[in-house]
Amino acid sequence: MGAAASASSVVTTALHGDVLVVTIDNPPVNALGAAVRQGLLAAMQQAQADAAVAAVLLVGAGKAFIAGADIREFGKPPVPPALPEVCRAIEGSDKPVVAVLHGAALGGGLEVAMSAHYRLALPAATLGLPEVNLGLLPGSGGTQRAPRLMGVQAATAMMLSGQHLKAQAALQAGLVDKLVEGADAQAAGLAYVRELLAANSPVRRTRDLAIAEPQAALAWLEEQKAETAKKARGLFSPLKIIECVQAAVQLPFDEGLARERALFVECLDSPQRAGLIHAFFAEREVAKVPEAQAAQPRPVASVAVIGGGTMGAGIAVAALDAGLPVTMIERDAESIARGRANVEKVYNGLVAKGRMTEAAKAAVMARYTGSTNYADIAQVDLVIEAVFEDIEVKKAVFRELDRVCKPGAVLATNTSYLDIDAIAASTSRPQDVIGLHFFSPANIMKLLEIVVPAKVAADVVATAFELAKKLKKVPVRAGVCDGFIGNRILAVYKQAADYLMEDGASPYEIDAAVRGFGFAMGPCQVTDLAGGDIGWATRKRRAATRDPKARYVEIADRICERGWFGQKTGRGFYLYPEGARVGQPDPEVLAIVDAERAKKGITPRSFSADEIMRRYMAAMVNEGAKVVAEGIALRPLDVDVTFVAGYGFPRHRGGPMKWADMTGLPKVLADIQAFAKEDPLFWKPAPLLEQLVAEGRNFDSLNKAA
């Protein structure tokens, strides 16, 4: 047995008896960079040429088989060989090729494995074709081979969801041939190859497998098309994936491959891919903040949550799901019973859906303690306050935490708007106070705004980012101002929507335009979902400081004055008969809108969906530029991640600042300048936007500079 490649190579070959073991060793995840593709192709040529080789075993070194393409190559000119050529060489071998999967086999990694003649999995294997998440489709035979191995429905569902299959599920689906216990991939693989050779198992090419019941498969794919078009909200690649699977059913294999490649290139050239790739990288970049690089996080082994309402319960569930013990504090026995019920409701829902057993629920709830006594949290490492959004109430809680919590405990507030510097000042330890702004429902929503007050210690910020990782949240660092990053910008584009409404667009036209852009809901639907009374309280709080010259639209206040707060009261902007979740337009709301227009002497004019979105987006981008210039957000990408992860901004557009770059900043600025002719106070161009346009630069140039 001798190694036939240099040790520095990312693909090495060694002969074990008559089996050529081909090892991919490209840390950290054996990504399919050019050197790996070249090495695999050379190894297959070597196996073909060497009479001493009876079979080939493909194995990944380290934790993964091959976890996909090398993302560092994205956007660069392709280096040969292309992956389809490598897959063709593996599948075309006239000696059996076995892939042994012991960790991640994702994207191109799974396409390599499907080109092998046999697949063996170890228990820790995860398999998937997640290209849809980047606006792509599997472009190296994945859409043609997966339906042949697992059937059309299972393969299509896997590619459309982008979700991973565990080893057992992959075995049941027919994606792997055998599952064996053990941790040593090479030893398990060699044993399997020996079995196959002893049984004279033939070369079994995936391309030669027939697709079962093609007519039924095509009928099902047609149904999927309609459903996917509805769900995809303008997303390009899901429908292309279905087209590829149709080609797999209808065309000979090589023609299907050619169709897949053509559609893959269409996806590559789509602006959606640029948006999705930006979102992908930006979500990794947001954690790179100066404090996390300057300090080590404090250990967090236990958490307390103050308040058991919807928000507190959601935060408690997020912490329990991360394996942490949680103590919840409420003011009396009745409130703590309600808080516990709010937590249990989430797990009862999972049990009812068959996604959790009663025993697993009991094990999680064993880590939950309810209490009315602050003394019970004297030893916890981190406290998250989630009580009523009133600064005096919150200060009282923090004075109590200051009294009972151990030195070095992190004290966090979940406020959405309030001044965290003022909350910190109510304690004797402002260095330990930070904002952790969760989004509702807190156990589901990905975004966590980490709000950094003036006096907080760097290691507390690092602890918050480490906690976000543990809770599987996407953290964004924000500075202190009214509304931080997200709600501050939201307030401005909601104003733009209010002005549109008063000027002639109905609430229902505005929502439809925003949904057409790719949001799941429009602003009036969001208000109804969150509760109109919340925004109303904020507007009343700000009334004293509002510029008397600024335009103020009272439509939402008129609706709230009638006690119509949205879904929870059965009507808001929309009507919700018998607890319906989807609202119906309300003629009485349109009458309120008309009355408000008449009161102000406004003659309504009509707006197209494009005109609505130009104003909506210009307001969002302009305020985003101010937030970046003031240092409330470190970089434009932090604004993008906030909106993609927390505000339903369509991921395929990358975020508001990326959208502005793709639209062209001169065009966005020209729109703002045109709108300023009607209302110069509201439509005041952000100096940063003017500067970037003058210098011929875009927002992304600031991401790179940071």
pLDDT in tens, 190-208: 999 999 999 999 999 999 9
Lowest mean pLDDT: which of 4-18, 43-57, 353-367?
4-18
User: Mean pLDDT across the stretch 219-224?
Assistant: 95
- The edge-to-edge listing of strands for the beta sheet with 97-101 is 11-16, 19-24, 55-60, 97-101, 118-121, 178-179
Helix, strand and coil content of the chain, in percent to the nearest 5, comes to: 55, 10, 35
Superfamily of domain 302-484: NAD(P)-binding Rossmann-like Domain (3.40.50.720)
The continuous run of DSSP H or E covering 519 comes out as none
Angstrom CA distances, 340 to 325, 337, 481, stand at: 14, 5, 33
For the question of residue 223 being annotated catalytic, the response is no
| pLDDT tens figures, 259-286 | 999 999 999 888 999 999 999 999 999 9
Q: Where in the chain is the domain with CATH 1.10.1040.50?
A: 487-705
SS3 282: helix
SS3 419: coil
Q: For residue 71, what pLDDT is reported?
A: 76
- Residue whose tokens read 């502005």: 660
Q: Is the peptide bond before 441 cis (omega within 30 degrees of 0)?
A: yes
Angstrom CA distances, 666 to 518, 633, 640, 678, stand at: 23, 22, 19, 20
- The whole-angstrom separation of Cα 466 and Cα 471 is 9
Which of 73, 85, 131, 255 is catalytic? The answer is: 131
Asked whether the beta carbons of 574 and 524 are under 8 A apart, the reply is yes
Percent of the chain clearing pLDDT 70 (strictly above): 99
* Residue 592: φ, ψ to 5°: -60, -45
Lowest mean pLDDT: which of 204-213, 305-314, 525-534?
525-534
- The whole-angstrom separation of Cα 434 and Cα 422 is 11
HSE-up of 35 (CA within 13 Å, CB side)?
Answer: 15
Nearest to 55 by CA among 5, 118, 125, 141: 118
Query: What topology does CATH give the domain 487-705?
Result: N-(1-d-carboxylethyl)-l-norvaline Dehydrogenase; domain 2 (1.10.1040)
Asked whether the beta carbons of 317 and 310 are under 8 A apart, the reply is no
| pLDDT tens figures, 654-668 | 999 999 999 999 999
Which long-range contacts does 595-601 make (Cβ < 8 Å, 24+ apart)? 595/558, 596/502, 596/553, 596/554, 596/555, 596/558, 597/502, 597/504, 600/502
Q: For residue 375, what pLDDT is reported?
A: 97
CATH class of 11-267: alpha beta
Average pLDDT, the chain: 95
Q: Give residue 705's pLDDT band: very low, low, confident or very high (50, 70, 90).
A: low
Measure CA 165 to chain center.
Answer: 19
| pLDDT tens figures, 524-539 | 999 999 899 988 988 8
User: Mean pLDDT across the stretch 358-380?
Assistant: 98
* Residue 89: φ, ψ to 5°: -65, -40
Q: For residue 538, what pLDDT is reported?
A: 83
* pLDDT exceeds 60 at position 6: no
Q: Is the peptide bond before 587 cis (omega within 30 degrees of 0)?
A: no
For the question of residue 260 being annotated catalytic, the response is no
Q: For residue 8, what pLDDT is reported?
A: 55
Q: For residue 5, what pLDDT is reported?
A: 41
* pLDDT exceeds 90 at position 352: yes
SS3 165: strand
Positive or negative CA dihedral for 390, 393, 399, 404? negative
- The whole-angstrom separation of Cα 20 and Cα 13 is 7
pTM given for the model: 0.88
Q: For residue 1, what pLDDT is reported?
A: 39
* pLDDT exceeds 90 at position 182: no
- The whole-angstrom separation of Cα 49 and Cα 41 is 13
Torsion of CA 128, 132, 138, 139, to 10 degrees: -160
Q: For residue 77, what pLDDT is reported?
A: 87
- The whole-angstrom separation of Cα 296 and Cα 603 is 60
Tokens of 474: 């996407």
Measure CA 10 to chain center.
Answer: 31
Angstrom CA distances, 389 to 116, 480, 531, 547, stand at: 59, 16, 14, 24
- The whole-angstrom separation of Cα 212 and Cα 219 is 13
Highest mean pLDDT, choosing among 74-78, 419-423, 532-536? 419-423
* pLDDT exceeds 60 at position 4: no
Which of 111, 243, 502, 509 is catalytic? The answer is: 111
Asked whether the beta carbons of 640 and 489 are under 8 A apart, the reply is no
HSE-up of 32 (CA within 13 Å, CB side)?
Answer: 30
The length of the chain is 706
Asked whether the beta carbons of 405 and 377 are under 8 A apart, the reply is yes
| pLDDT tens figures, 571-610 | 999 999 987 889 999 999 999 999 999 999 999 999 999 9
Angstrom CA distances, 279 to 56, 152, 273, 668, 692, stand at: 39, 30, 10, 21, 22
User: Mean pLDDT across the stretch 125-144?
Assistant: 96
